[in-house]
């Protein structure tokens, strides 16, 4: 379902509080039907008047059954185990080790 978007402009009512109250009443009515609503207070760029907007949508379905690639909660069904490195990589090398190339450190002149 595409979200429902409704706008309550300040100019359509006697005062801004009435527009906000009407939006809030509409949110309560939509939430009573099971929709999830969000409210935003926006301003028009041309004259700075307030616009009260609501967005309503159906809640995301929650599945208790596992999916093909997960457990139903968005997690993978199993975790990959880290692979061990070979013995040649397990010991620490120092700068004198012939297998390691060392780059010269940059030098800076200070005055």
* Position with higher pLDDT, 36 vs 86: 36
Give the pLDDT score at 2. 85
pLDDT mean over 53-66: 79
pLDDT for 108 beyond 80? no
What is d(CA 99, CA 91) in angstroms, rounded to the nearest whole number? 13
- Which of 51, 41, 54, 40 minimizes the C-alpha distance to 9? 51
- Token pair listed for 99: 């297998």
pLDDT mean over 29-41: 93
Q: What is the pLDDT of residues 81-102, one digit of tens each?
A: 666 665 555 455 555 555 556 6
Mean pLDDT for the chain overall: 77
């Amino acid at each position: 379902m595409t979200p429902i978007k409704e706008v309550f402009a300040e100019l359509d009512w006697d005062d801004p509080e009435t527009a906000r109250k009407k939006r809030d009443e509409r949110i309560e009515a939509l939430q009573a039907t099971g929709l999830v609503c969000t409210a935003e207070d926006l301003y028009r760029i041309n004259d700075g008047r307030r616009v009260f907007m609501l967005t309503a949508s159906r809640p995301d379905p929650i599945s208790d059954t596992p999916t093909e690639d997960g457990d139903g909660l968005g997690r993978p069904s199993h975790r990959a185990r880290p692979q061990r490195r070979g013995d040649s990589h397990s010991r620490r090398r120092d700068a004198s080790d012939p297998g390691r190339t060392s780059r010269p450190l940059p030098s800076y002149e200070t005055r």
